[in-house]
Structure 1
Amino acid sequence: MKQDLRDWILQALTALQAGGSLPAGDLPDFVVERTKNRGHGDFATNAALLLAKAAGAKPRDLAATIAAALPPREGVARVDIAGPGFINIVLDGAAYTAQLRTLLAQGTAYGRNDSGRGRRVQIEFVSANPTGPLHVGHGRGAAVGDSLARVLDANGWAVTREFYYNDAGAQITNLALSVQARCKGIEPDHPAWPADGYRGDYILDVARDYMAGATVHADGQDVSGTADGDDLEAIRRFAVAWLRREQDLDLRAFGVVFDVYFLESSLYRDGKVEATVRDLIAAGHTYEHEGALWLKTTDFGDDKDRVMRKGDGSYTYFVPDVAYHVDKWRRGFERVINEQGADHHSTITRVRAGLQALDAGIPKGWPEYVLHQMVTVMRGGEEVKLSKRAGSYVTVRDLIDEVGRDATRYFLIARKTDSQLVFDIDLARAQTNDNPVFYIQYAHARVCSVRRQLAERGIAWDRDNGLARLDRLVETHEQLLLVELSRYPEVVEAAATNLDPQLLAHYLREVATAFHAWYNSHHFIVEDADVRDARLGLAEGTRQVLFNGLDLLGLSAPETM
């Protein structure tokens, strides 16, 4: 509706330019927004405020001129001038019932648009080290990243989901040493336990499978244990494969599937790290100091230069990240969005600096980042800190086992990513209206229950009659619900524009609130066939919006609860 109204206003502005009332040239990027108070109208635009200076007119006077130039339009009751020069647009009921007809006609396509025009975007998320089960922070990244992918797809982008495995470096060595210790019967409290070893019970599970000669399948390959407790390299390969498989099983249980799994080790194996370093040296943005190779990141906004290659010849952690993003760029992604924990904040400037230093045509601000804050898990008013299996943190599987996939995903999405999140297990398990995911899904199930009631009574919904008699939706609760349903396409677009799926989570709760208020106040299956069919049409429209929105968040839409 916003875009249609903006196009309508553009018609008036173009006509005024043609008539000389407005100067020729590009028009400013004015907005059409829903008013916070419907007493001021349904929508408002700032077009007159932005054009007044160029037109040599007072904003209120220009607003009146624009309003007079607006062509007649069905669904608009009146246009008012407010404040310093805002143009307020008041719609009549026909505008919202027309939107309901569009909703019912489009079905699952309602809310989808083609603003992405098929352009390629890669979303990298989770990207956990294969050293243990996925923790709740990874879960938040998975829920947010997967929802972003779904929302961008709904906005016409060609989305690739990618998982980057940090399978090289000291943490993998510590993993192998931990498994080796367990293979030899050494326990975490023994003096011979590796200083930085992993202590969770899963390490014992890996060691048992390795010594039993088990075979694990990960990323298209089979890796078998050799039962040789002295072969650290064989233990490393098996442990990484074992944990990659476990992480993949956790993600599938969470409803998350990736298109691409990328190994950090491949950057070294294929010479891409060394090639990136050579290119940076050739570009003239490096220097040697105290036996180390430095990148002049201060040339690109960093607070100090950074070491790339240490004196012992090893690379610092951001160098393979730069090489990895060069690889992404060469794969042709116009946009790359990295969903990561807030602890990655310090790497953003360094990675972007490295990419800019290469002078390879990579735009500033590429890649984009969405950073999520930490999650605190509560039960019975107390923080839950440990998982028996992981030993030091709460895992994603713990939450799924406790409250189910839908509640886990919703709760991890339902706040802005830059806000810390409290995951209340008791609330997530509650089958009450205080639980937002239950409240939303219950609204969908209630509509489905109306369908069953119709069947039980031998009554059929006359869809055509309902669509023809939507003018019978005159109750206040019905009018409020119509307005909410009309907002859905705007929310889908805003969630993609702002890379913020919690906007959709919050919106669905508002739809559920409007629906439950209507459901509790009015009967749907009434004697008057026109009213009945119109109300059933509104109920079906509500069900469709809830279904579509839940799907974009990766949640189910149950028909019974």
Structure 2
Amino acid sequence: MLCSWNESISELIFNALVLCQNTDELPEVCDFIDINKIRSSISKPRDKENGDISSNIIFFISKKIQLGPNQLASILQEKINELILNKEEADFENNIIVEKVKYAPPGFINFWISAAAKFEVVAQVISDEEFGFIKSNKNQKILLEFVSANPTGPLHVGHARQAVLGDSIAKILVASGASVNKEFYYNDAGNQIENLMLSVKARLKRISPEDSSFPKDGYKGDYINEVCKEFVKQNQSLHDTNDSSEEIKSFSVGYLRKEQNIDLSALSIFFDSFKLESTFYLNGQIENVIKAIEKNNKVYTKDSALWFRSTFYGDDKDRVMRKADGEYTYFVPDIAYHLDKWKRGYGRAINIQGFDHHGTLKRVAAGLQALNVGIENNFPQTILHKMVKVVRDGKEVKISKRSGSFITLRDLICWAGNIKNNEEFVNLINNNNSSPKIQRGRDVVRFFLISKKAETEFTFDVDVAQKQNDENPVFYVQYAFARANSLIYQAGFSEEDLIKYLKNLSKHDFCKIGKLINNSKESLLCMRLAEFPTIFQTATNELAPHMIVFYLRDLAAEFHSYYNNTKINVDNENQKKARLLLVLATSFILKKCLKLLGVTCPKRM
């Protein structure tokens, strides 16, 4: 509901209590209850038969004054109705937006919002481009890190989920007033890069993954052949690969970074900055971290290794920072990286990672506190997501031929967009990144992968993803938007015509127009539009784009139901325009939500 409605009804209840108190019908209730307590008692009823808004404040007051809830409710309801009837009509200008109130045992006061107030929501949606975007993060500077895959192979479905989560959260945070920097951190140091180089070198020598001489921890996917072909193409004068390890390593990492970026661009995901793990070794920041923690007496030596006293910060055991051979353990560069985030002036950092990173969170947080430079305890904030299971023809799909061991982000886009193979995908990307097939695949993948909470497992059903009917939730929502636009066009109006008509209405007209769109379906649709600010605020506070998905599906369902049960293009001109304004407002919110998710809004389907 609108925050203003909550405020108005809270004040109505409070003023009614004051009246009861002044007429000695109730004891000094205002001594133990305030407006905030009443606000927190207000919610949306589960059953639409119980009105638009409900308060359970009766329970609280009844216990306090030792008066039965039925008797208390009778007194309070009378005073609320008295306040409403003192107005000439239920008028939002006078802050009374209720046209009916009724008590429902065992302790609920239910309110019905006036038709005029509901139409005011329609008017706000249309006239205010920022409707619903509560600026709770205004002027906040946020660094959002996500995907951050090793440059050793294609992005898999886990990366895909992380990418969509991160990009949608970024859009929501920006809409809430924040300045967001999207960053990709490359783990380009360590054994995995060496194994990549050895894998490419082996394939260049025509050693297959099945051969006993193939690197034990090598990468076996077909994409290694693609790296080899491009390397040979660009290094035709090179005859001996034995002396070219560094060239092969550098080329392979660069090639795979480019491939990852191509896949991300197919999802319309682009980063503002990139950081390389290797730079923290080269510029000495990792050694500086060790020295700072050592200076604060939070390390000790044991068995020729350097240990971090992480138990001091709540870890279950101390951790090795530098091994006996001088190699740093994997969480030490992460400390240096997050210190770098903080030094760049980001008071808030958000990381999105797979659940398999759960064990490192405490160590990094402990390391940042051990630096003793003033970093907050909740820096960084981490969202952990679970993996994605892919199902096709009712069976789980586990292996991708191209990757050699997992389903890739590209696989999902190709399947969802009915793209035949990798060659067609590459051609479409090279020729037109906005081709209908790429766009369809992008929309489905983005919508599907944020349709559940990050911490819950998700099953990506390829068969559902390929359908162009109501069984596909993306199609269902997009079709609601297309249908709304079609209704306006068929009625002989444009968006601009309806906006101009709305601007010419007076506040008094709102009461009349409101009554023209007050059947049960229209009322439900208006109330759903009024929910958007609360939904957006929750999605912002909880970093939960799935809340937008849930809301979109409900809004689309109620709009389709309205369309199927109500004739929009009627003979009565005022009635027609009133209903078209409701249709237009619905299309605006559908578009606003789809944009937050990075999903397109086709006007025709």
Q: Please say whether Structure 1 and Structure 2 have the same fold, judged by a TM-score greater than 0.5.
A: yes
Is 1:39 the counterpart of 2:49? The answer is yes
Query: For residues 391-446 of structure 1, what are the alpha-carbon distances to aligned partners after superposition, in whole Å with 9 as ceiling and x for unaligned?
Result: 11111111111211101111111111111111001101111111100000011111
- Corresponding position of 1:329: 342
Match of 2:222 among 201, 204, 221: 201
Match of 2:315 among 302, 310, 319: 302
SS in 2 for 1:477: helix
Do the aligned partners of 2:221 and 2:405 also contact (CA within 8 Å) in 1? yes
TM-score, normalising length from structure 1? 0.90
Query: For residues 360-402 of structure 1, what are the alpha-carbon distances to aligned partners after superposition, in whole Å with 9 as ceiling and x for unaligned?
Result: 2222222111111111111111111222221111111111112
CA deviation after TM superposition for structure 1 residue 78, in Å: 4.5
Query: For residues 258-290 of structure 1, what are the alpha-carbon distances to aligned partners after superposition, in whole Å with 9 as ceiling and x for unaligned?
Result: 111111111111111111111111112211111
Letter of the aligned partner of 1:449 in structure 2? S
CA distance in structure 2 between the aligned counterparts of 1:462 and 1:185, rounded to whole angstroms = 67
1:12-411 to structure 2, matched below 5 A, reads 21-22=30-31, 30=40, 32-45=42-55, 73-78=95-100, 88-107=110-129, 109-213=130-234, 229=241, 230-403=243-416, 404-411=441-448
Question: What percentage of residue pairs aligned between the two structures are identical?
Answer: 41
- Corresponding position of 1:412: 449
Letter of the aligned partner of 1:38 in structure 2? K
CA deviation after TM superposition for structure 1 residue 82, in Å: 6.3
Query: For residues 225-254 of structure 1, what are the alpha-carbon distances to aligned partners after superposition, in whole Å with 9 as ceiling and x for unaligned?
Result: 966512211111111111111111110111
SS in 2 for 1:116: coil
CA distance in structure 1 between the aligned counterparts of 2:334 and 2:101, rounded to whole angstroms = 54
Letter of the aligned partner of 1:143 in structure 2? V
SS in 1 for 2:407: coil
- Corresponding position of 1:220: none
Do the aligned partners of 2:142 and 2:181 also contact (CA within 8 Å) in 1? yes
Q: Which runs of 5+ in 1 are unaligned?
A: 215-223
- Corresponding position of 1:218: none
Do the aligned partners of 2:14 and 2:35 also contact (CA within 8 Å) in 1? no
SS in 2 for 1:284: coil
Do the aligned partners of 1:67 and 1:79 also contact (CA within 8 Å) in 2? no
Do the aligned partners of 2:529 and 2:589 also contact (CA within 8 Å) in 1? yes
Letter of the aligned partner of 1:37 in structure 2? D
CA deviation after TM superposition for structure 1 residue 175, in Å: 0.5
CA distance in structure 2 between the aligned counterparts of 1:225 and 1:542, rounded to whole angstroms = 63
Match of 2:578 among 534, 540, 544: 534
CA deviation after TM superposition for structure 1 residue 454, in Å: 3.0
Match of 2:538 among 488, 494, 510: 494
CA distance in structure 2 between the aligned counterparts of 1:455 and 1:42, rounded to whole angstroms = 33
CA deviation after TM superposition for structure 1 residue 207, in Å: 1.6
1:451-462 to structure 2, matched below 5 A, reads 451-455=488-492
Query: For residues 14-40 of structure 1, what are the alpha-carbon distances to aligned partners after superposition, in whole Å with 9 as ceiling and x for unaligned?
Result: 9899x9933799966836432323334
Letter of the aligned partner of 2:181 in structure 1? T
Q: Which runs of 5+ in 2 are unaligned?
A: 23-27, 85-93, 417-440
Query: For residues 487-510 of structure 1, what are the alpha-carbon distances to aligned partners after superposition, in whole Å with 9 as ceiling and x for unaligned?
Result: 112111111111111111111011
Letter of the aligned partner of 2:463 in structure 1? D
CA deviation after TM superposition for structure 1 residue 48, in Å: 7.7
Is 1:514 the counterpart of 2:558? The answer is yes
Query: For residues 51-87 of structure 1, what are the alpha-carbon distances to aligned partners after superposition, in whole Å with 9 as ceiling and x for unaligned?
Result: 999x988796999789969896332224566678666
Query: For residues 334-364 of structure 1, what are the alpha-carbon distances to aligned partners after superposition, in whole Å with 9 as ceiling and x for unaligned?
Result: 2211111111111111111111222222222
Letter of the aligned partner of 2:369 in structure 1? Q
TM-score, normalising length from structure 2? 0.83
CA deviation after TM superposition for structure 1 residue 88, in Å: 4.5
Query: For residues 83-130 of structure 1, what are the alpha-carbon distances to aligned partners after superposition, in whole Å with 9 as ceiling and x for unaligned?
Result: 7866654322222111111001114x2221211112011111111100
CA distance in structure 1 between the aligned counterparts of 2:480 and 2:152, rounded to whole angstroms = 41
CA distance in structure 1 between the aligned counterparts of 2:281 and 2:543, rounded to whole angstroms = 32
Which stretch has the larger CA shift, 205-214 or 371-380? 205-214
Do the aligned partners of 1:162 and 1:258 also contact (CA within 8 Å) in 2? yes
Q: Quick one: structure 1 residues 50 and 115, their matched pair in 2 at CA, closer, same or farther if it must change by over 3 Å?
A: farther
SS in 2 for 1:212: helix
Q: Quick one: structure 1 residues 65 and 308, their matched pair in 2 at CA, closer, same or farther if it must change by over 3 Å?
A: farther
CA deviation after TM superposition for structure 1 residue 314, in Å: 0.7
CA distance in structure 2 between the aligned counterparts of 1:277 and 1:12, rounded to whole angstroms = 61
CA deviation after TM superposition for structure 1 residue 537, in Å: 0.7
SS in 1 for 2:234: coil
1:441-452 to structure 2, matched below 5 A, reads 441-452=478-489
Letter of the aligned partner of 1:555 in structure 2? V
Q: Quick one: structure 1 residues 83 and 371, their matched pair in 2 at CA, closer, same or farther if it must change by over 3 Å?
A: farther
CA distance in structure 1 between the aligned counterparts of 2:77 and 2:317, rounded to whole angstroms = 53
Q: Quick one: structure 1 residues 270 and 207, their matched pair in 2 at CA, closer, same or farther if it must change by over 3 Å?
A: same
Do the aligned partners of 1:225 and 1:238 also contact (CA within 8 Å) in 2? no
Do the aligned partners of 1:148 and 1:499 also contact (CA within 8 Å) in 2? yes
Q: Quick one: structure 1 residues 355 and 31, their matched pair in 2 at CA, closer, same or farther if it must change by over 3 Å?
A: farther
CA deviation after TM superposition for structure 1 residue 212, in Å: 2.2
